[in-house]
Amino acid sequence: MASAHPVLLVATRKGAWLLHGDTDRQHWRLDGPHFLGQIINHLVLDPRNGRTLLAAVSTGHLGPTLFRSADLGANWQEAAQPPAFATTADGNGRSVKHTFWLEPGPASEPEVWYAGTSPQGLFRSTDGGDTWAPFSCLNDDPTFREWMGTEQDGTPDGPKLHSIQIDPRDPTHLYIAMSGGGVHESTDGGRSFTPLLDGLAVVEGFDRDTPTFHDPHCVRLCPTLPDRLYQQNHCGIYRLDRPATTWQRIGDNMPAEVGDIGFPLVLHPHDPDTLWVFPMNGDTVWPRTSPDGKPAAYRSRDGGASWQRQDHGLPAEQAWWTVKRQAMCADTEATLGLYVGTTSGELWASRDEGDNWQCLARHLPEIYALSIGYPQA
């Protein structure tokens, strides 16, 4: 039986922390560091069993790996076979720099996990994350390899595959996103993928029909309306209602002075019309700070037709941090809790769907990812 006590999983540039909450989310106990000094790109508790914790671990100087824990981090076991590309005869194949994204499979496949890596690769485990194999055509298909571009085309810490989204009605229906490389859909269990790019803007001067030039920052599928996708990308915020294939720019409805550039995008687990973004300054040289040094979440209750600023409790000025694409999440309580981890190592939480914010922790390393879990009692 799932616990009423949430655990907030904090992945940072220099280790991992677990925050154990009480039932009303008022008090949190900080547990850590785990893996001090190692880069943790993602830390996820398996929602299907409430027990298995997976951590994507790397350093600046060792090969990447994964660790698993069955006791909330009291003990960690290294994966027997972490994600690795196929070995090529000439030795010139790619090598995984780090695992960036961990995605549990559907409830009907309780031992399945997916992983997205840097450089762009898609991997799958069928044994709870102990051994991993390349998955689908993506990693080695010449067309996809061309669309992935080079290291120069990727994000500053490496091009990456992320936002692995699985249709809860059909485990063979998948979406993935690549930075760079665009958003792609598979309807055959990953055997093939098709670009899903219509309607999306690219940086002026680039060809929008070339997937390489598309940089999706975060793509989310609505759990209660799986035909609906939202996307925060390099150029704006979009919504797509299948079977349509053309994205609609809902970021145009954001205040002009804030714009619709950012990284994270969080969906309400029960209401497909409610979502949050956390805008970032994407002007000129891309400062990647809160706009004007005034951080705020923006919430839409109507699928992106309108947005409301939510900054009560957040610093009113001179706060020059921002939020990475995996560093904002929601819990599943009746009155939804939201959580934000900042590039300056602060943890902020709201127990009322973003209306009021309080700081849970300061002085952590740069926060790369947050996720919420409910450990099995």
Binding site for another protein (CB under 8 A): 59-63, 65, 78-80, 82, 84-88, 91-96
Closer Cβ to another protein, 82 or 105, answer by number: 82
Least separation in angstroms between residue 60's CB and another protein is 3
Could you say which DSSP state residue 131 is in? B
b or e along 25-35 (b: 16 or more beta carbons within 10 Å of the residue's beta carbon)?
A: beebeebbbbb
Closer Cβ to another protein, 157 or 311, answer by number: 157
Closer Cβ to another protein, 81 or 376, answer by number: 81
Contact 163, 218 (CB under 8 A): yes
Closer Cβ to another protein, 54 or 79, answer by number: 79
Closer Cβ to another protein, 37 or 110, answer by number: 37
Q: Which residues make beta-bridge pairs with 115? A: 102, 123
Least separation in angstroms between residue 93's CB and another protein is 5
d(CA 183, CA 177): 4
Closer Cβ to another protein, 134 or 168, answer by number: 134
Least separation in angstroms between residue 96's CB and another protein is 7
d(CA 150, CA 140): 14
Least separation in angstroms between residue 40's CB and another protein is 14
Closest-CA residue to 145 (of 115, 172, 122, 175) = 122
Pairing of strands 308-310, 338-341: unpaired
Q: In what order do the strands lie in the sheet with 367-373?
A: 28-34, 15-21, 7-12, 367-373
d(CA 148, CA 141): 10
Least separation in angstroms between residue 65's CB and another protein is 6
Closer Cβ to another protein, 63 or 255, answer by number: 63
Closer Cβ to another protein, 63 or 189, answer by number: 63
Least separation in angstroms between residue 106's CB and another protein is 28
d(CA 236, CA 258): 11
List of residues 6+ apart from 158 with CB closer than 8 A: 97, 98, 118, 119, 151
Least separation in angstroms between residue 77's CB and another protein is 10
d(CA 335, CA 119): 38
The secondary structure of 299-349 as a DSSP string is EESSTTSS-EEE-TTS-SS-------TBSEEE--SSS--EEEE-TTS-EEE
Least separation in angstroms between residue 87's CB and another protein is 5
Contact 270, 334 (CB under 8 A): no
Least separation in angstroms between residue 134's CB and another protein is 10
Closer Cβ to another protein, 94 or 145, answer by number: 94
The dihedral of CA 122, 127, 133, 135: what is its sign? negative
- 106 alpha-carbon distance from chain centroid: 17
